[in-house]
Chains A and B, each alone.
Chain A
Amino acid sequence: MKPRILARALTAGLVAFAAARPAAAADKLHLYNWNNYIAPETIKRFEAECKCEVVQTYYSDNEELLAKLAAGAKGYDVMVPTGGTVEALIKGGQLQPLDLAKLPNLKNVDRVYLNTRWDPGNKYSVPYAMSTTILGYNDQKMKELGLPTDTWAVIFDPKYLEKVKGRVTVLDSQSELFAAALKYLGYSVNDVDEKHWRQAADLIKKAKPYWAAFNASSYIKELTVGNIWLAHGYSNDIFQADQDAQAAGRKFRILQGMPKEGAVLAVDNMVIHKNAPRPDLAHKFINFMLDGRNSAELTNLIGSGNPNLDASKYIKPELKALPAVFPPKEVAATLEQLGELTPAQRRLRNKLWTEIKAAR
């Protein structure tokens, strides 16, 4: 899952306030999580089971988590960072190894999502939930305009963009936008060839005049109210936009478009911080969340992708049909997780990104 930074920062305070409860239990599990990334009933059940209290604090993107830990933040037991960030945390020595004997429910997880290249054997991390970075669109408008919704071309090719000028947003994220452009050009999202990056930057520069904004914070609302008709965004967010549009009684729906060229898959993983005060509770919590029912509650709440095969029977049927929730094999084959870059590569990409932003 990924940010809607400011909206979350605003709500996080309210949620934290609302979640305050009398501190009866002495045992506390400190969960450092995305906002709204665990169902309230799931927390209640875990608290009853472990006779402890779950204390949640929130981050709004992986970089915030990394920046906080790099600055020496302590006191977290379980954290839920995304794939590439797990790599940074492992190599940065921020995690403690998991005791897999205490996680029997790991058997529920689809093998496709285990044994990542940054954590072979799942020594440090186990999958929690996931999202894909895809297209979200206003079904009515896209039909009227006769635009395809299964290809990145619709946000990069001026031939299509002419029809939706000023009604398209793309994520304000270097990694995500470069990944989409690289996929459209037929490369891997983790391609680090400078020539390919420059090709991607040129593609983005040519498409930029047609976009309304680089936006990672408010495109959900803009889709919901009908200001924006097409967005490059996270599957969970697009799901939420559709829910909101339906709740508001809009005549259109916000649907998910899975680009045939492939897309970024973001698997969020449960990890334990090296200085976790309660590794025992942390293991209990992780095993609890690997249970199909508990995992399904999150998907039912926010439409997150689910790596847990056992969760399937608890998930609402209309959600099960979405390719972003349980990607079918042929779709899964086109999805890729973002890896880490070296500092030199990050600098180069940032320079290209700044040139994109400054270009007119």
Chain B
Amino acid sequence: MAARAGVNWGKWAVSGPPLAYLIVFFAAPTLIMALASFRTPGDFGGLAPLVAPDGTLDLNLESYARLAESTAYAEVFLKSVIFAIVTTVACLVLAYPLATLIAQSPRKYRDLLLLLVILPFWSNFLIRIYAWMIILGPNAALARGLNGVLALFGVEPVPLLFSSFAVLVCLVYVHLPFMVLPLYANLEKHDRALLDAAQDLGANAWQRFWRITFPLSLPGVYAGAALVFIPALGIFAIPDILGGPNDTLIGNLIKQQFLETRDWPFGSVLSIVLTVAALALAGLAAWIGRRGSAGAARA
């Protein structure tokens, strides 16, 4: 049917509520945060008045300048980005075969297998992290077994709990379903006839995967990578609970500003830098992805 002239009320009725929701709960808080980053912390928490007693607006770049005061902030940022990248790659490597298996399994089992993937969400996030404390503890079977093997080679026992290893294991564990689900949604739609045709034309298993399945699955890979990378970049609970003395990430730093240090402006600055970094990295990945697929099309 042709579009009627004038306002399309139906369209607005459908898109209005979610749009209003995003404006109220996403855009407005982001703007408040952006404004707070230029303000001054209050003496006893909160923010100093926006309008100073002499009537001038109290806005400044002091909190931004603080980023340059110490290289520690950049180091923590870099560490967080590295952790998030390692988590994303590990999730991809683990999730790809799993999603393929589910997508290729008989239709009647698929829902059950998917249910098993999302089963961990039925218990609280924090409880699942606490469970890892027990699994990784020095008196648990895992650490004792590993250190028993290391001892055979004369290696000093290594602690598993309170280490970067513990943080990474748990980051991967928590985010794995976010990679499996979009990959599955993509892989399930692949047309098997394409693979059969490739086989008829002489492509071996690796060529069929690398030239057909993988390029077709790239939208799922990008979606999964974004769903894993972005939350992994800002997380603070996992390093708080499982991390060792060197495992402070940017999320912990931001939390500190809002609670312990009561420095909302600097906390806002760090959050904004984090958001911009996440957007920039996502943009970069998309750009590389587009170039990659354009290259593949030419080849």
Binding site for B on A (CB under 8 A): 6, 9-10, 61, 63-64, 66-67, 70-71, 88-89, 91-92, 166, 172-175, 208-209, 211-215, 217-218, 221, 225-227, 340, 342-343, 346-347, 349-351, 353-355, 357-360
CB distance from A41 to the nearest CB of B (A): 30
- Contacts A225-B137, A354-B72, A357-B76; A347 near B266 (Cβ below 8 A): yes
- Tell which of A6, A67, A209, A353 touches B258, judged by Cβ atoms closer than 8 Å: A67
- Docked-complex contact A63 and B262, CB < 8 angstroms: yes
Q: B260 on the interface (CB 8 Å rule)? A: yes
- Docked-complex contact A350 and B126, CB < 8 angstroms: no
- Contacts A217-B241, A227-B138, A343-B41; A63 near B126 (Cβ below 8 A): no
Residue with the highest number of chain B CB atoms closer than 10 Å, among A6, A166, A358: A358
- CB closest chain-B residue, reference A10: B126
- Docked-complex contact B248 and A358, CB < 8 angstroms: yes
- Docked-complex contact A351 and B259, CB < 8 angstroms: no
CB-defined contacts of A227 to chain B, threshold 8 Å: 137-139, 161
Considering only residues 246-260 of chain B, those with a C-beta below 8 Å from chain A are: 246, 248, 252-253, 256-260
CB-defined contacts of B253 to chain A, threshold 8 Å: 354, 357
CB-defined contacts of A214 to chain B, threshold 8 Å: 245
- CB closest chain-A residue, reference B252: A357
- Docked-complex contact A360 and B246, CB < 8 angstroms: yes
Cα distance, A340 to B266, chains bound together (Å): 19
Which of these binds chain A: B43-51, B173-181, B287-295?
Answer: B43-51
Cα distance, A350 to B127, chains bound together (Å): 30
Residue with the highest number of chain B CB atoms closer than 10 Å, among A209, A213, A227, A350: A213
- Docked-complex contact B126 and A6, CB < 8 angstroms: yes
- Contacts A217-B240, A354-B73; A66 near B44 (Cβ below 8 A): yes
Cα distance, A357 to B260, chains bound together (Å): 15
- Docked-complex contact B138 and A67, CB < 8 angstroms: no
CB-defined contacts of A208 to chain B, threshold 8 Å: 245-246
Q: Which 3 A-B pairs have the closest CB atoms?
A: A70-B46, A357-B248, A358-B72
- Tell which of B162, B241, B252, B256 touches A6, judged by Cβ atoms closer than 8 Å: B241
- Docked-complex contact B137 and A88, CB < 8 angstroms: no
- Contacts A218-B241, A347-B263; A91 near B72 (Cβ below 8 A): no
Residue with the highest number of chain B CB atoms closer than 10 Å, among A6, A214, A349, A354: A354
- Tell which of B76, B259, B261 touches A347, judged by Cβ atoms closer than 8 Å: B261
- Tell which of B46, B124, B263 touches A10, judged by Cβ atoms closer than 8 Å: B124
- Docked-complex contact B42 and A350, CB < 8 angstroms: no
- Docked-complex contact B259 and A64, CB < 8 angstroms: yes
Q: How many A-B residue pairs have CB under 8 A?
A: 124
- CB closest chain-B residue, reference A349: B261
CB distance from B42 to the nearest CB of A (A): 7
CB distance from B39 to the nearest CB of A (A): 12
Pull 18 A–B residue pairs with CB atoms less than 8 Å apart, ordered by A: A9-B126, A10-B127, A63-B259, A63-B260, A67-B262, A91-B44, A209-B245, A212-B161, A212-B162, A227-B137, A346-B262, A350-B263, A351-B66, A351-B70, A354-B70, A354-B253, A358-B73, A358-B75
Cα distance, A351 to B71, chains bound together (Å): 10
- Docked-complex contact A346 and B261, CB < 8 angstroms: yes
Cα distance, A212 to B40, chains bound together (Å): 36
Residue with the highest number of chain A CB atoms closer than 10 Å, among B76, B79, B241: B241
How many residues of chain B have a CB within 8 Å of chain A?
46
Cα distance, A88 to B126, chains bound together (Å): 31
CB distance from B295 to the nearest CB of A (A): 39
CB-defined contacts of B162 to chain A, threshold 8 Å: 212-213, 215
Q: B282 on the interface (CB 8 Å rule)? A: no
Considering only residues 38-69 of chain B, those with a C-beta below 8 Å from chain A are: 40-46, 66, 69
CB distance from B67 to the nearest CB of A (A): 11
Binding site for A on B (CB under 8 A): 40-46, 66, 69-73, 75-76, 79, 124, 126-127, 130, 133, 137-139, 159, 161-162, 237, 240-241, 243-246, 248, 252-253, 256-263, 266
Cα distance, A102 to B38, chains bound together (Å): 46
Cα distance, A211 to B246, chains bound together (Å): 10
- Contacts A61-B259, A66-B262, A212-B162; A343 near B72 (Cβ below 8 A): no
- Contacts A208-B245, A213-B244, A225-B137; A88 near B72 (Cβ below 8 A): no
Residue with the highest number of chain B CB atoms closer than 10 Å, among A6, A175, A347: A347
CB-defined contacts of B243 to chain A, threshold 8 Å: 213
CB-defined contacts of B257 to chain A, threshold 8 Å: 350
CB distance from B219 to the nearest CB of A (A): 37
- Docked-complex contact A226 and B124, CB < 8 angstroms: no
- Tell which of B44, B248, B260 touches A350, judged by Cβ atoms closer than 8 Å: B260
Cα distance, A340 to B46, chains bound together (Å): 15
- Tell which of A166, A211, A351 touches B72, judged by Cβ atoms closer than 8 Å: A351
- Docked-complex contact B66 and A347, CB < 8 angstroms: yes
CB distance from B38 to the nearest CB of A (A): 15
- Docked-complex contact A358 and B139, CB < 8 angstroms: no
Cα distance, A194 to B125, chains bound together (Å): 40
- Tell which of A166, A211, A225, A353 touches B139, judged by Cβ atoms closer than 8 Å: A225
Residue with the highest number of chain A CB atoms closer than 10 Å, among B44, B70, B137: B44
Cα distance, A91 to B46, chains bound together (Å): 13
Cα distance, A172 to B253, chains bound together (Å): 12
- Docked-complex contact A92 and B259, CB < 8 angstroms: no
CB-defined contacts of B42 to chain A, threshold 8 Å: 70, 92, 343
- Docked-complex contact B45 and A218, CB < 8 angstroms: no
- Docked-complex contact B72 and A350, CB < 8 angstroms: no
- Contacts A212-B244, A227-B138; A343 near B70 (Cβ below 8 A): no
- Tell which of A215, A346, A354 touches B76, judged by Cβ atoms closer than 8 Å: A354
Cα distance, A136 to B232, chains bound together (Å): 34
CB-defined contacts of B40 to chain A, threshold 8 Å: 343
CB-defined contacts of A354 to chain B, threshold 8 Å: 70, 72-73, 76, 248, 253, 256
